[in-house]
Amino acid sequence: MSIAGLQSIQQSLQAQTKTLKSEQTSSPGFKEMLSAALNNVNQLEKESEAITNDFIAGRTDSIHSVLIAAEKASIALDMVIEVRGKILDAYTEILRMQL
C-alpha cells in the first residue's frame, strides 16, 4: 500500500476521532444528569419550606400555594427514591453476572 493511501486513511480516522470527541462533550453524562436531578429536588424542598414558613408567619394566605409546593417536592423526592431503587437493582444484577 502506498504512503498516500495510508495518509488518507489516517486523516479519515483523525476526522472521525474529532467528531466522536465533540459528540461526547456535548451530551451530559449520567453523573451530571443525576446531579442536576438531585439539585432540582433540593431546590423544590427549599421552596416548599420557604412557602410553608411564609404561611405560618402570616406573610401569605394562600394555602393552595403551600400545598402545591409541598406536593411538587414530595413527587420529586419519590421519583429520586424510585430511581435510586432502580440503580441499586441494576447494580446487584451486574454483581450477579458471571464473567
Q: Are 80 and 43 in contact (CB under 8 A)?
A: no
Domain ranges of the chain: 28-96
pLDDT of residue 66: 95
Question: Cα(73)–Cα(79) distance, rounded to whole angstroms?
Answer: 10
What integer pLDDT is reported at residue 14 of this predicted model? 77
Q: Are 69 and 45 in contact (CB under 8 A)?
A: no
pLDDT per residue rounded down to tens, the chain (99 residues): 466 666 777 777 777 777 766 665 667 788 888 899 999 999 999 999 999 999 999 998 999 999 999 999 999 999 999 999 999 999 999 999 987
Main-chain phi, psi angles of 97, to 5 degrees: -65, 140
The residue behind cell 402570616 is 58
| Whole-number Å distance between alpha carbons of 18 and 53 | 52
* pLDDT for res 24: 59
Closest CA to 91 of 41, 27, 30: 30
